[in-house]
Amino acid sequence: MRIELKKFGDVLTSREAGREALLAFSPTLKSVDENEEIIIDFQGVSVLTPSWADEFIRPILFLKKYAKKVSVINDSNPSVQSALRFANPKLNLNKITVFRDVIVFDEITDDKIYNSSKAILVPTFPYSDDETLDILTKNNVKKIYIHPVDALEDTRLKAVIGILNKAGIKTVVDK
């Protein structure tokens, strides 16, 4: 299946627009055969923002059903390349940082691991607890280091540890 993004416009911006595009495209995406490759075609797209890519492209990349069958073409536009970097970060699956409402993975960029507690250095995506659990279980992670941010409520940390432990993922709190 080829997803021609120009059908959604040549300027793809805003989180809301990306979410609406994915909702509109979901019935077609659900019809993808188990062995069918998905090609995301950026031909004709002049602007792609990370927020649009985060809502439309990232879910396709991280859904277990599609993750290993997705490729992109015509992605030489600098705007597209920049947004794709954010939509498909390389995640360090050994450590997460737990915030009040979200979880952030350390990202691996240019062979360096950036510390997610130093937000100025890190272009990271916040993940919901469910998204985090899905990523970790999909990758068969059995043990993870948790870095709680300063002033994180103990109940929040215990809740995240409980979710992970229930899924069979051993947790070690990094203090």
Structure tokens at 27: 């019935």
Mean local confidence (pLDDT), 158-170: 97
Place of tokens 């991280």: 62
Task: Evaluate whether 104 touches 126 at the Cβ level (below 8 Å).
Answer: yes
Give the pLDDT confidence of 128-157 residue by residue, as tens digits.
898 889 889 988 999 999 998 878 899 999
Q: 28 in helix, strand or coil?
A: helix
Per-residue pLDDT, 89? 65
What's the pLDDT score for residue 5? 95
Domain parsing of the chain, residue ranges:
1-88, 89-175
d(CA 28, CA 166): 34
> What are 114's two structure tokens?
């950036």
Residues with Cβ within 8 Å of residue 117, at least 6 apart in sequence: 97, 147, 149
CATH class of 89-175: alpha beta
